[in-house]
Amino acid sequence: ETGVTQSPTHLIKTRGQQVTLRCSSQSGHNTVSWYQQALGQGPQFIFQYYREEENGRGNFPPRFSGLQFPNYSSELNVNALELDDSALYLCASSLEIEGLGYTFGSGTRLTVV
C-alpha cells in the first residue's frame, strides 16, 4: 500500500509567479485535503476535494485553487505568489469524506523570494 506522494519536494519561486503542486493520494482514498504550514505554526486548512469537487474551503484567497482528477490525485495552484506564501504545503488523503484518519504526504517546501 503506497502512501501519499507529493511533488516537488522543494521549490523556489519569485514573487508574482504562479506555482502548481501535485499530490498522489494513498491507494483507495478518494478524499484529498490541502494544508499550509508556516514555520512554527500548525497546518492551516486550504480546501478539500471529494470525487473531483471542492468540498470545503478555509480562509484563503481565490488565487489558491485546486483540482482533483478521476484517479483521485490532486493539484494545488497558487497565482500571483506573495512572500507570505512561503510555507510547507501538505496534502492529506482519507477514505471517504468522513474519514477519521488522514494520511499526510511529506509536503512541498515552497520559498517565495
Partner 1 sequence: TQLLEQSPQFLSIQEGENLTVYCNSSSVFSSLQWYRQEPGEGPVLLVTVVTGGEVKKLKRLTFQFGDARKDSSLHITAAQTGDTGLYLCAGRGSTLGRLYFGRGTQLTVWP
Rounded to the nearest whole angstrom, what is the least distance from the CB of residue 56 to partner 1 in the complex? Answer: 4
Site residues for partner 1, window 4-63 (CB under 8 A)? 4, 31, 33, 35, 40-45, 48, 50, 55-56, 58
Exposed/middle/buried for residue 97 (C-beta within 10 Å: 0-12, 13-18, 19+): middle
What does the DSSP 8-state code read for residue 98?
T
Site residues for partner 1, window 88-107 (CB under 8 A)? 90, 92, 94, 97-107
What is the helix, strand, coil percentage profile of the chain, to 5?
5, 50, 45
What residues make contact with partner 1 under the rule CB under 8 A? 4, 31, 33, 35, 40-45, 48, 50, 55-56, 58, 90, 92, 94, 97-107, 109
